[in-house]
Structure 1
Amino acid sequence: MDTMKLERIQLFGNHGVFAEENKLGQRFYVSLEMKLDLRAAGKTDDLEETVNYAEVYGLVKRVVEGETFKLIEALAETLATRLLDAYAKIHEVTVRVVKPHPPFDIVFDGVTVEITRRRGEER
């Protein structure tokens, strides 16, 4: 399988357990690693033979900025499910969600959840 990656997409969302997070929102970073066969796209130079990453970005943006989740685990799971449902060419997707500024007293680069889902797995 070949790999297409979208790295560290920066979006603003209202995700978190606390009401203030849902009201004020904050920045999130999303990275995707999609496993698919890119051979035909490489040989034909035809967008129909691949996954349009501009559309993938649009799907991610709609979910992150348009929906609210308490847990970044639920956000990652929703993104993985929607991508596999929307694009039959994707055989496997790894979704990484970073919440760089969780609301507690700690100095670090944030908390990251990373999940991998495959086509045909029970969802």
Structure 2
Amino acid sequence: MGIIKVENIRVYAYHGCLQEETKIGSDYRVDLKVKADLQKSSRTDKLNDTVDYVFLNRIVKEEMAKPSQLLETVAKRILNRIFKEDKLVKKAYISVSKINPPIGGDVEYVTIEMKEKRKSIF
């Protein structure tokens, strides 16, 4: 088993419960970590035998572009797509941070974290 991380993905998006947030938008940071068997790719040196971090970054950007009220919703969509589109991923961890959230205080960011593992099918 191995780990692939794509960290500090910076995205401008339109998530939030306040109407202004969905019109004005804000900066976000996404950190992603996936666990997969990397033994084959370490031997073959072939991109098809591993989890492509360009693919992971693309999914994050595409799902972050779809406005949602909650960061939890966006994170779950990202995780669902990763498991659906890449069968090598066994576990995934994601954190989504809203930078400078409009919560009436001097707060650098708020973050939600989620993790999932591939469901076994017998």
Q: TM-score range by the shorter chain?
A: over 0.9
1:38 maps onto 2:45 in alignment: no
Which residue of 2 is the match for residue 88 of structure 1?
87
In the TM superposition, 1:1-123 aligns within 5 A as 1-65=1-65, 67-120=66-119
Flag as ranges the 4+ runs of structure 1 deviating above 3 A: none
By how many angstroms is 1:14 displaced?
0.3
SS in 2 for 1:5: strand
Gaps in structure 1 of 5+ consecutive residues = none
Residue 107 of structure 1 and its aligned partner are, at CA, apart by: 1.6
| Letter of the 1:59 counterpart | I
Q: Distance in 2 between matches of 1:8 and 1:106?
A: 24
Q: CA deviation at 1:69?
A: 0.6
Cα separation, 2, equivalents of 1:20 and 1:109: 19
Q: Once the 2 structures are TM-superposed, how far is the Cα of residue 29 of structure 1 from its aligned partner? A: 0.4
Secondary structure of the corresponding residue to residue 34 of structure 1: strand
TM-score normalised to the size of structure 2? Answer: 0.94
Alpha-carbon distance in 2 for matches of 1:43, 1:88: 19
* TM-score, reference length from structure 1: 0.93
**1:108 CA displacement:** 2.6
**1:42-85 deviation digits (Å, cap 9, x = unpaired):** 111110100111121111111112x0110011111111111111
